[in-house]
Copies of this chain bind each other. A is one copy, B any other.
Amino acid sequence: METRPYVPWDMMNAFMIDVFQKYGVPAGDAAICADVLLESDRRGIESHGCNRFKPIYLDRIKNGTLLPVTKLDILKETPTTLVMDANNGMGMVASYRMMEALIDKAKTFGMAGGAICNSTHFGIAGYWTTMAEKAGMIGVCGTNARPSVAPTWGVEPMMGTNPLTFTMPTDEDFPFNFDCATSIVQNGKIEFYERMGEPTPAGLVVTRDGGTMTDSGEILREMRRGNCALLSIGGPGEATGGYKGYGFTTIVEILSAALAGGPFMKELSGRNPDGSNRFYRLGHFFFVINPDFFMGLDVFQKTCGDILRGLRASEKAPGAARIYTAGEKEWEAWQERRDKGVPVGESIRKELVALRDEFDLDYRFPFEG
């Protein structure tokens, strides 16, 4: 049962657009950014929604590591490809322009690919692949991030949590949407365990001595000191497939940097050697595949839907209520929230009120009574 108060979607959207503009983001760009953040809340992915509005976007604009006006330079363009330099502007704006262009290219040529360098956090990866899916196409994308994941047999945080994301059209009410980090968990999940007073499962984190750690509070402290690292799917070593997850994380690290010739790994720390802030200089990649250039969208949708329905209907483990397919939980979160709004916890409520008061904006939130 949700116990947090809700803010209506329209109100939250208008408010975020107004505040982004107060921070110097042009109106059209502000609308894109607000929609990306709210889409995360619509899907129930609260780690990437309005909880990040202030710390990851507004605070970074303020400290100079994120430029509110996004100047996009086209480094290379062909009928099927596009490479852009985002010049440390809004990663969400750059990604939106990229996907618009790639969808157009894939309408004409069937396939399109793009890469962005010198970017900033682009929100949920699934927003971009869903743009392709809404146009009747398959979307694939990924991004690098500041180093936090160790390679198999390593202990040093080298790569980002590097999502490798696919969204594919189905004949159902919602797409197949696979949108997650290639590490087992992200920081946010360990913060969740800590809040719940729960240990972190063994094998998610590797310490400098090659062991693991399960005390969630201790993990968070040692992560900040660089004394432990996250592991990719499959866990430590090779016996349970850790090298496979490590391979996927590496693929994303390569594609995010090498297609655009941008920086990677330790260069993405966002910190100068003296500890001061600097630009994150992230890289992203995007591919769009048009099923009409294969056997047709309808064939693709039906086959995809049949596979997903078959999986859900297969025999469950005793005690397991359901088998889910990727994107289903996000769809159900939206069904539950669409008429209510975005649930806001205490810290977000405080941020909203403070921002409203700072700029003397004409909003009164429902939770203010």
Contact = CB atoms under 8 A, between A and B. Distances in A.
How many copies altogether? 2
Interface in A63-80: 75-76, 78-80
A194 to B, nearest CB: 15
A307 B291 CA distance: 33
Given A81-B111, A311-B250, A243 B324 contact: yes
Residue among A184, A258, A259, A303 facing the most chain B CB atoms (10 A cut-off): A258
A254 interface: yes
Task: Please classify how large the interface on chain A is, using the bins under 10, 10 to 19, 20 to 34, 35 or more.
Answer: 35 or more
Contact of A293 (B81, B159, B235, B294): B81
Interface stretch (A8-16, A18-26, A201-209): A201-209
Contact of A322 (B150, B153, B261, B303): B153
Interface in A318-333: 318-320, 322-326
Which 3 pairs between the two chains have the least Cβ-Cβ distance?
A210-B317, A258-B303, A153-B320
15 contacts: A80-B110, A113-B289, A153-B316, A153-B322, A155-B317, A168-B258, A176-B254, A180-B244, A206-B317, A233-B234, A233-B241, A254-B304, A260-B294, A261-B296, A265-B307
